[in-house]
Amino acid sequence: MGVAADERQALSSLFEDLGPDAPTLCEGWKTRDLAAHLVVREHRPDAAPGIVVPALAGYTQKVQDRYAAKPWTDLVGQVRRGPSKFWPTAIGRLDELTNTAEFLVHHEDVRRAQPEWTPRPADPTRDAAAWRSVKGAAKLNLRKSPVGVTLRTKDGREAAVKTGPDPVTIVGEPVDLLLFIFGRDAVHLDFEGDAAAVSRLQSVNRGL
């Protein structure tokens, strides 16, 4: 299996352990809402566009709420099984391309919302996949940053992802960097640069 498939299975197991009403880092969502989101994304092409298109979000929410009301074991089982064989991401390479960041981030959304969470031990395969996802998504996700941004891993890999004034360098493990560029603040990171610039960057990032 690839990283996306591994994270799917790990998240599904965590869902089973925590139940449907555990907190997540996704504002307003409990675990049942996050599981429903994942199912809608992979099983409802009529509703999935509303995940990213605000004008369609109302319909998507109605569909998601119906899935969230399903028996918990059924809903988690659907997340675990993934899409049908006719869905494009049922192909391993496409799954890795489109779902690695999705399941890495959402797995951590559940893990890090629990009391006394700690980072997972380093894993070369997972960390490499996270770094690829960071480089692929950061320029889009940080496009509104009012300052320049460079991302650097603790082992020295670096990517300049936003040009601009008052540059800030963010240093951390790949999974933490990935979470940050998707707007999460439950991360262990160091920020190098002017304090005011760092504050402006963090403020904009929390709005993602």
pLDDT at 118: 93
Angstrom distances, CA of residue 21 to CA of 15, 17, 35, 59, 76: 10, 11, 11, 23, 13
CB contact set of 138 (below 8 Å; sequence gap of 6+) = 149, 151, 159, 161, 162, 181
Q: Which residue has the tokens 């993934």?
A: 82
Detail the DSSP E strand segments found in the chain.
149-153, 158-162, 168-172, 189-192
pLDDT at 146: 93
Structure tokens at 39: 């199912």
Q: Which residue has the tokens 């760092």?
A: 198
pLDDT at 103: 96
pLDDT at 90: 63
pLDDT at 93: 77
pLDDT at 45: 86
pLDDT at 87: 66
Report the candidate in 173, 170, 135, 168 with the shortest Cα–Cα distance to residue 154: 173
pLDDT at 92: 64
Q: Are 106 and 133 in contact (CB under 8 A)?
A: no
Report the candidate in 156, 164, 155, 158 with the shortest Cα–Cα distance to residue 197: 164
Q: What are the average pLDDT values for consecutive 10-residue runs of the chain, which has 208 residues?
A: 93 98 97 97 90 93 97 97 75 80 97 95 96 94 94 96 95 97 95 94 76
pLDDT at 21: 98
Question: Is this model's pTM higher than 0.85 or not?
Answer: yes
pLDDT at 208: 56
